[in-house]
Amino acid sequence: TTTTTTTTTTTTTTTTTTTTTTSTTTALVPAGAKLFLEENGNKYYGIPVADGKTLVEGTVAETCEGAGMRAVCAGDSSCHWSSERCEVVAMESNPCGNAMNGLSRKICGNKYPRDCPKLDGLFNYMNGWSLGECGTVGGSWCTGGNNYVSGKTATYYAYCVKN
């Protein structure tokens, strides 16, 4: 008697390939934005405030945040006009409350914002100021934003920093 045994072995090999895709998203600067200054890795912009928006407290911060930026503080972190909604930057940190003065002195030859036509229509975030945001309009410096609506007679701009 002859017995034959047949053994069949099946080997299955599974190969898994994992592909990782990394993408970097760079927020685009909104149309109509004004680049005022690049310094120490920061870019300082005027970002157009949406038509129909009044420059009440918070409008500048909202506009900057919507553009992937931060509002510039009008002083250092101990300044009562500063809050977590803005970024302290060296050129604007001293003295407290001199909104846009550092920028003006750098781009307009050591002049105050009211004497710097490049800043006309620019508003700075001002935490807790009853008059709204602080703007430079028509030769006036720190005019109350509560009286200004962007797009009504002019487009107004939020003072923002991107780093």
Name the average pLDDT for the chain.
89
pLDDT at 132 over 90: yes
Query: Of 30, 53, 39, 63, which Cα lies nearest the Cα of 146?
Result: 53
Nearest to 115 by CA among 94, 143, 141, 135: 141
Is residue 13 very low, low, confident or very high in pLDDT (cuts 50, 70, 90)?
Answer: low
Asked if residue 148 lies in contact with residue 137, where contact means CB atoms within 8 angstroms, the answer is: yes
Any idea which residue has 């920061």 for tokens? 42
Q: Residue 25's pLDDT is what?
A: 47
Residue 29 binned pLDDT confidence (cut-offs 50, 70, 90): confident
